[in-house]
Amino acid sequence: MSKLKIAIQKKGRLYEESIQLLKESGLNFKEGNNQLKIVVENFALEILLLRNADIPEYVEDGIVDLGIVGENILIEQQVDYDVLRKLGFASCRLSLAIPKAENYNDISALTQKRIATSYPNTLRAYLTKNNIQAEIHTLSGSVEIAPNIGLADAVCDLVSSGTTLFNNGLREVETILNSEAVLIKSQKINSVKQKSIDKLVFRMDAVLRPKK
């Protein structure tokens, strides 16, 4: 039988706690050495370390069976998957922010402005819902630098502690959505794998339940 595969974020805000959840669930494995695949010693499971934004598609295609990702990525990418559990970590929000000296009464202040983001689909939907015409500039990272280098008038990015906004002289003006880490499952799962997933989720529940 082929092993179950779970994809987690290779580095970044979800990595540490994803590893911790898997370990607390009783899985024995060694991490480190920049490896992209971790073999679990006491469960027929492989942990694949991927870029956050790549995980939903792998889950949709059934390349991996399970994934731990932020809801923010799932909302941005229109792919098919099932959410099994909310995991209660990596809480953050997707927000709009502007240079702190700029005036702001309401969202109409963003009309005809250039907004830098790594979440163009989510932002577009939000602007449309609020009847705002603005220009979206897609960047894959370091979004908060955009106003300082004259690339944009505003940003739409994740806020966790708020440090990145603060350090770049920006202030949050609208929250678009709240996000946390979730466990997702592919819709291409056979019954043998499903049994194995049930076992794994049962173990995770024992870790997640007391935290709720």
Q: Which stretch binds ligand PRP (CB under 6 A): 2-10, 32-40, 107-115, 141-149?
A: 141-149
Cβ distance to ligand PRP smaller for residue 5 or 70: 70
8 Å CB contact between 9 and 18: yes
Cα–Cα dist 82/151, whole Å: 37
Count CA atoms closer than 13 A to 187's CA, side-chain side.
Answer: 7
8 Å CB contact between 31 and 151: no
Q: How far is the CB of 187 from ligand PRP (least distance, A)?
A: 28
Cα–Cα dist 107/102, whole Å: 13
Cβ distance to ligand PRP smaller for residue 18 or 164: 164
Cα–Cα dist 10/49, whole Å: 4
Residues 6+ apart with CB under 8 A from 123: 115, 117, 136, 156, 176
Q: Which stretch binds ligand PRP (CB under 6 A): 20-28, 53-61, 135-143, 186-194?
A: 135-143
Pick the binder of ligand PRP from 105, 161, 209, 211 (CB under 6 A). Answer: 161
User: Which residue has its beta carbon closest to ligand PRP?
Assistant: 141
Select from 35, 6, 32 the least CA-distant residue to 21.
Answer: 6
Pick the binder of ligand PRP from 62, 120, 162, 169 (CB under 6 A). Answer: 162
Q: How far is the CB of 159 from ligand PRP (least distance, A)?
A: 5
Cβ distance to ligand PRP smaller for residue 64 or 73: 73
Select from 46, 88, 92 the least CA-distant residue to 73.
Answer: 92
Backbone φ and ψ for 66, nearest 5 degrees, come out as -135, 160
Contact call for residue 54 and ligand PRP (CB under 6 A): no
Q: How far is the CB of 53 from ligand PRP (least distance, A)?
A: 10
Contact call for residue 62 and ligand PRP (CB under 6 A): no
Contact call for residue 160 and ligand PRP (CB under 6 A): yes
Q: How far is the CB of 5 from ligand PRP (least distance, A)?
A: 24
Pick the binder of ligand PRP from 18, 164, 179, 186 (CB under 6 A). Answer: 164
8 Å CB contact between 7 and 48: yes
Residues interacting with ligand PRP, by CB under 6 A?
Answer: 12, 141-144, 157-164
